[in-house]
Structure 1
Amino acid sequence: MNLLQLLLIVLGLTGAVAMVWAAFAGPSPKKESTRRLKQVRFRHSDNAVERVEMQMRKAVAARRPRTYQVAGSSSRIEALALRLHRTGKGWTLQQYVWTSFGLFALVGLLVFLKSGAPLLALVVGVFAGAGLPHVVVNYLIKKRNTQFTVKFADAIDLLVRGLRSGLPVSETLGIVANEVPGPVGEEFKLITERIKIGKSMEDALQDTANRLDMAEFSFFCITLAIQRETGGNLAETLANLSDVLRKRAQMKLKIRAMSSESKASAYIVGSLPFIVFAMIYWVNSGYIGKFFLDERLMVAGLGGLVWMSIGAFIMAKMVSFEI
C-alpha cells in the first residue's frame, strides 16, 4: 500500500466520521438557550415593537406553506397538479403525461431512424419527454408570476383606496377581482368565491398563498394577519407594503440588468458545442457520423453533456439572487 492509497483511506474515513457526527449531532446548546430566552422575553415584554415582532414570528410560523412528502406517488401527483395549476392554462395531469410520452416516442424514434443506435435514441427520448414539458411548465409559471407581480402593487393600491373610502376588506377584495385584469384578478376572484361559500378570509388567503408560493403574496397575508391581531390602520400598512413591493420589483430589474452580460456569456459558451456539432454534421455528415455508431463516443458525449449541465447549473446559481 503506497502513500497515496493510505491518504485516500484516511480522507474517506475522516469524511465518513464527519457525516455521521453531522447526522447525529443535536442543536447547539448555546443557540437553543438563546432562542428560548428570546421567546420568553418577547412573551412577557411590554415593548410594543417586541410584541409586534413576536406576532409577526407567530404569523410566519403559522403560514408556512404545506410541504409534500417525498415518498408516495400521491404526493408527487399533487405537487405536479399544483405546478400545472400555477401555469394558468388549465392543463390536466392526463394531458401532461400523454404529451411527455408522445415526445419521448417521437424523438426517440426519429433519433433511432437517423442513427440506428438504440441506446442513444433511448437517452435522447427520455431527455425530450421528461425535460421539455418540465421546462415549458417552468417558463409558464415564471411568466404568470411575473404578470402577477407587475399588477399586484396596483391591486394593493386599489385595496387602500377602498379601505380609505370606508369599505370593508371583503368588499374591496371583490372590487380587485373585478377591476384588475390578469392573474391578480383571477386569484382574487377565487378568494372571494371561497369567502362566499363560508370560508374565513384568513383561510381563503392562506389557500391562495400555498398554491402560488410567492413571497409578495405571503407578505400580503402576513400583513393582514398582524393587523388583525395587533390593530392599527390597515390602509396605511397596505400602502407601505405596496411601496415595498414596488421597490423590490425595481431591485429585481436592476439585478437583472447587471447580470445580463454574465447570462449572455453563459448562453453563448453553453450553446457553442451544439452549434459547432450541428454545423460539422451539416457540412460533412460522414466525418462525425461515427458519433452515433461508436458506443465509446456516445459515452464520452454523454459525459461531456453531464459536465456541461453541472457548469450551467453553477453559473445559473451564481447570477441568481434572492431579494
Structure 2
Amino acid sequence: MDSPLVLIVLFTFLAVVLVILAIYFALDDLMSMHRTWLAKRLGDETTEEHRLQTSAAAASVFPHLNRMTNPFDQERMKPDWRERSQLWISQAGLPLTPQLIVIRALLLCMSLGGLVLMVTGSIAGAILVGIIAASFPVLQVLIMRHQRLEKMRFQLPDALGLMSRVIRTGQTSAQAILSVTEEFSEPIKGEFLTCYQQQNLGIPTEATLRDLSRRTGLLELKMFVVATIVQAQTGGNLAESLDELSQTIRDRFRILSLIRTITAEGRFQAAILLALPVLILILMMLMNWEYARILLDFPLVLVSVLVSEFLGAVWIWHIINFDF
C-alpha cells in the first residue's frame, strides 16, 4: 500500500474515532442535564458557602443518599448503565470513571491499530488489533473486580467471627463493624469503614447495611445484611446468628473448592482450546509472515473465529460455573 494512501486511511480512522468520542460526550451531557438542573434547584435552597463545605464530604460517604434512606425508592430507582459501570469500577477498587475507561480504550484502539496499519498496510489487521486493544481497559476492570470480590469473600467469615466475639463482650453492632476496620486489610476494611462512617453521621443502620450490600454485590454479604436487619427488627441473639452465618459461608467455600477440583481438568482443556488458534496464528506470523498475512485479507474469517471463540468461552464458563 502506498504511503499517501496509508496516511489517508490512518487519518480517516482517527477522524471516525474522534467523531464517535464527540458523540459520546454530547450524549453524556444531554443525559446529565436533568441532574444538573436538580443540583441547581437544591443549591438555590442553601447558601453557596454551606454547599461548598458539605459537598466534598457528602460525595464520598453518601454517594447514593436518595436510595439509602428509603428502601422502596431504592427498588423503584433502578441504576442506569452509567451507574452500573461506575459500580463495577468501584468494586474493582479503581479511582476511575466510565468516561476515562472509554478514553483509554479509544486511545489504545487508535495507537495500536494505527501502528499495525502503518507497519503492515492491512486495514483488516488494523481494525482487528484495534478492537482487541480497546478491550484491554474493560478486561482490566473485570479481572481486578473479580480478584477484589474474591478476596473480600474469603475475608468475610473471619470478619463475622470477630464481630460475633465483639458483640458477646457487650459492644454494639457499630463497634463490631469498627473492629473489622481495625483488624482486617483491604478490601473489606474500606467497605466496613464506609458503613461505619455513614452510621456515625446519622444514617440509619438498615440503610447503611443495604448500601453495603449494593456496593459489593456479594451474596454472602447480602446474607449478612438480611440476618442483621431481621435481628434488629424482631430481636434475637445477633452473635449466635453471626456464628452460624460464618459457618454457612465456610461450608459454601468448602463446596466451591470441591467444585473447582472436579472441574479443574475441564477448565485446563478450555484454556488450551481457546488459546490454541491465537497461538498458532502468532507462530505463523513469526515463522512465515507472507503466508500468514493472506489471512488478514479475509476479515470475515477472523471475525467468525473471534465470535466462535467467544461463544465457546461463554458456553464452557456456564458449564463449569454455577450458583449453589
Give the counterpart of 2:86 among 77, 81, 90: 81
| Contact 1:103/1:128 (8 A) holds in 2 | yes
Task: Within 5 Å, give how 1:150-169 maps onto structure 2.
Answer: 150-169=154-173
Contiguous gaps of at least 5 residues in structure 2: 1-70
Aligned to 2:281: 277
Partner-residue secondary structure (3-state), 1:166: coil
Task: Within 5 Å, give how 1:162-241 maps onto structure 2.
Answer: 162-241=166-245
What is the CA–CA distance in structure 1 between the aligned matches of 2:177 and 2:312, rounded to whole Å?
Answer: 46
Change (3 A) 1:64 1:248: farther
Aligned to 1:291: 295
| Contact 2:198/2:208 (8 A) holds in 1 | yes
What is the CA–CA distance in structure 1 between the aligned matches of 2:303 and 2:238, rounded to whole Å?
Answer: 57
Over residues 135-182 of structure 1, what are the superposed CA-to-partner deviations in whole Å (9 max), with x where a residue is unaligned? 111110111111111111111111111111111111111111122212
Aligned to 1:114: 119
> 1:281: how far off?
1.6
Under a length normalisation based on structure 2, what TM-score does the superposition of the two structures give? 0.74
Aligned to 1:315: 316
Aligned to 1:126: 131
Aligned residues: 254
Change (3 A) 1:319 1:83: same
| Contact 1:177/1:188 (8 A) holds in 2 | yes
What is the CA–CA distance in structure 2 between the aligned matches of 1:110 and 1:96, rounded to whole Å?
Answer: 21
Instruction: Compute the RMSD of aligned alpha carbons.
Output: 2.0
| Contact 2:108/2:133 (8 A) holds in 1 | yes
Contiguous gaps of at least 5 residues in structure 1: 1-60, 70-74
| Contact 1:104/1:126 (8 A) holds in 2 | yes
| Contact 1:153/1:245 (8 A) holds in 2 | yes
Identity of aligned residues (%): 26
What is the CA–CA distance in structure 1 between the aligned matches of 2:251 and 2:73, rounded to whole Å?
Answer: 24
Change (3 A) 1:187 1:312: same
What is the CA–CA distance in structure 1 between the aligned matches of 2:266 and 2:78, rounded to whole Å?
Answer: 35
| Contact 1:263/1:319 (8 A) holds in 2 | yes
What is the CA–CA distance in structure 2 between the aligned matches of 1:67 and 1:268, rounded to whole Å?
Answer: 44
Aligned to 2:8: none
> 1:97: how far off?
2.6
What is the CA–CA distance in structure 2 between the aligned matches of 1:300 and 1:66, rounded to whole Å?
Answer: 45
